[in-house]
Chains A and B, each alone.
Chain A
Amino acid sequence: MDLALLTEQLLNGVQFGVMLFLMAAGLTLVFGVMGLINLAHGSLYMIGAFFCATVAAATGSFWLGLVASLAGAAAAGAIIEIAVIRRLYDRDHLDQVLATFALILIFSEGTRWVFGSFPLYLDIPAVLQGAVALPGGSQYPVYRLAIIIVGLAIAFGLYLLISGTRLGMRIRAGESDREMIAALGVDIRNLYTVVFALGAALAGFAGAMVGALQSVQVGMGEPVLILAFVVIVIGGIGSIKGALIGSILVGVVDTMGRFLLPEFFELFMPPSQANSVGSALASMAIYILMALILALRPQGLFAARA
């Protein structure tokens, strides 16, 4: 195993983590501020990807597609919040889970009804095609590097938004005590819609970025949603910082596990057996990580409300 491979895998882990962060940030905000479990967050990710693919196919520009994914997912988020989610804040978590699960089914079948059952085409823009040489002799896809940079920029932007603006102040206040800020005259209904739309836009943006790398198809959001939940549980519910650290931790552990565990078992096992044991264990690695962190810090690494 050489340094080039290790660097590449580490970058892969960070890139995967940054992508997860865009999903987890919205999820953790909605959970933290409104106390709502939103299973339909994965559908917003899918909606973003479909908006991007459709607009990119119609106009020929990936960049317009990205803008459309942000706008489309934010709009879809606002509509869902006003039409459905608003009625769920006072209900218990079971009702929220049932209602948002119903939303997943509606969005999946609705999307299939509109776009058909076959995956859509969405490609990486020409300027980000191909690979660049890294110091150390290895090559790395430009697009993945771009994802890392954009993701970290968004994380920094969110940090500024939450810590430095009036909206951020209200979001933080909403996390600490919902009733109190309503009593102080803040329009909590609008705040909720804005937060939900913001989370939706981030998810849609993630869907569009990943859609270009993977496949744009119905049901693409659900596997990511599960990982995003793992991230916010590890990071601490409601904490953006926790979501960022948790995402990168999950991304790196998952990628390195897939790569290192089979090699580790090969030290004392025949290769084919080592492979199946290693890859089985690698699929469990992040859940083992989650269990460990929960055992040591049940509230997560950076819980907003301890």
Chain B
Amino acid sequence: MKKLIAASLIGLSMSVASVAVATTEPVKVGMITTLSGGGAGLGVDVRDGFLLAAKLAGNDDLEVVIEDDGQKPELAVQLADKMIQADKVDILTGIIWSNLAMAVVPGAVAQDVIYISPNAGPSQLAGAGCNPNYFNAAWQNDNLHEAMGAYANTAGYTKSFILAPNYPAGKDALTGYKRFYKGDVADEVYTKLGQTDYAAEIAQIRASDADSVYFFLPGGMGIAFMKQYAQSGVDKPVLGPAFSFDQGILGAVGDAALGVKNTSQWSKDIDNPANKTFVEEFQKEYGRLPSLYASQGYDTANLILSAMNKADVNDLDAFRAALKEADFDSVRGDFEFANNNHPIQDIYVREVVKEGDVLTNKIVGMGLENHSDAYAKDCKM
């Protein structure tokens, strides 16, 4: 009898153990991001932010596979196929560029793989093309531009010269700005994508009667524009989204960026415990200040970790519901998902300042409070 009880106890404990194993099923995340070429700084920041959050959480059940897409859509698609079929990932993330996201995301979410965007937010995925398996932990593409349009009104600008590269995200940017900006447009100029000499455009700005200049030129394009603008002797104030003034490129722009207003959903001086930990630990781990891209990678990882604590990734409905609750401490403060799985969040106005020798940003005002996006109403979710 004793033996029987002992055996059944052992059997029972084993079954309990096996149940426990089932609830802590490891979650495999595939990260496809840009780690080589001219756009690598953005991908490196997203990756480092993501890995930092994973390290701080110390959750061994989060497994990450990282691959470099080289900013090439066709390569990103191949990597996504490989990760879904061979690596059997549960979640994909990491893509920086909207054109790559548009190549990968629709195919992946159709196979019931969850995609969480740490950066790109093309309008096509926010409106009628929204999907329950697609979440955006950063912003919809138009958001930061809309906030700057709103800020231009409060700052009293009535005639803006607006400038962006001639590609879909560039057109979204100027559309976003004009959606909230009430003044007149002095001129609207689309430049070639990848252009690095802006002498011709600066000459037009000089000749125009604009009272402000709004530009969206991400990466090296923005560095080149700001340096040349500072040399040109034109003194019309410049406005832009955070992409042209983030921590990764401020050092290369130099003092030319001082005093420029830019809009961002994150800044290193947002006062909450999560952000304090993030900024401190990031500097400790990597020896540089974090950028908004790093903050987005960090939030993406924490969003996944929060859902892992609530649901099993194999139960897709429960896991999606857990993600949608967004029950984590975002470094940007309040964060929740709208019906289209895009953020509702505050967007701040920052100013480029110098702290000691280091150029960085400081919040000087609010652009848009609790801002969702213009496409959410078209999403049937």
Contacts and interface: CB of A to CB of B under 8 A. Distances in A.
Contacts of A217: 38, 220, 223, 252
B119 to A, nearest CB: 15
B192 interface: yes
B36 interface: yes
Interface residues of A, number: 51
Contact of B206 (A117, A138, A143, A279): A138
B223 A139 contact: no
Contact of A130 (B43, B207, B231): B231
Contacts of A4: 207
A121 B359 CA distance: 12
Given A119-B249, A119-B252, A124-B231, A218 B38 contact: yes
Contact of A118 (B192, B207, B248, B254): B248
B197 A283 contact: no
A129 B223 contact: no
Contacts, number: 128
Interface in B169-196: 188-192, 194, 196
A9 B197 CA distance: 12
A58 B190 CA distance: 38
A8 B252 contact: no
Interface stretch (A87-95, A180-188, A208-216): A208-216
A130 B227 CA distance: 11
Interface of A: 1-2, 4-5, 8-9, 12, 15-16, 108-109, 112, 117-121, 123-124, 129-131, 138-139, 141-144, 210, 212-220, 223, 255, 258-259, 262, 271-272, 275-276, 279-280, 282-283
Given A119-B252, A131-B231, A218-B37, A213 B207 contact: no
Interface residues of B, number: 38
A259 B223 contact: no
Nearest to B223: A215
B224 A215 contact: yes
A219 B38 contact: yes
A120 B41 CA distance: 12
27 contacts: A2-B207, A4-B207, A8-B206, A9-B200, A15-B199, A108-B36, A112-B40, A117-B35, A117-B41, A118-B41, A119-B251, A130-B231, A139-B232, A141-B231, A143-B231, A214-B197, A214-B228, A215-B220, A215-B224, A217-B252, A218-B38, A218-B40, A219-B37, A255-B199, A259-B200, A271-B188, A279-B191
B124 interface: no
A69 B36 CA distance: 24
A275 B223 CA distance: 24
A190 to B, nearest CB: 36
A3 to B, nearest CB: 11
Contacts of B188: 271-272, 275
Interface string B9-49: 00000000000000000000000000111101101100000
B203 A5 contact: yes
- By DSSP majority rule, is chain B's interface helix, strand, loop, or mixed? helix
A141 B232 contact: yes
B249 A123 contact: no
Interface of B: 35-38, 40-41, 43-44, 166, 188-192, 194, 196-197, 199-201, 203-204, 206-207, 220, 223-224, 227-228, 231-233, 248-249, 251-254
Nearest to B229: A141
B233 A139 contact: yes
A1 B192 CA distance: 23
A27 to B, nearest CB: 19
Q: Which 6 A-B pairs have the closest CB atoms?
A: A131-B233, A215-B223, A117-B40, A214-B224, A12-B199, A119-B252
A289 to B, nearest CB: 16
B44 A117 contact: yes
Contacts of A129: 231
A276 B190 contact: yes
A212 B227 CA distance: 8
A279 B204 CA distance: 14
B228 A213 contact: yes
Nearest to A139: B233
Nearest to A131: B233
B197 to A, nearest CB: 6
A143 to B, nearest CB: 6
Given A5-B207, A258-B200, 16 more contacts: A2-B207, A8-B203, A9-B203, A130-B231, A142-B231, A212-B227, A214-B196, A214-B223, A215-B224, A217-B220, A220-B220, A223-B194, A255-B200, A258-B191, A272-B188, A275-B189
Given A4-B207, A8-B206, A259-B203, A279 B166 contact: yes
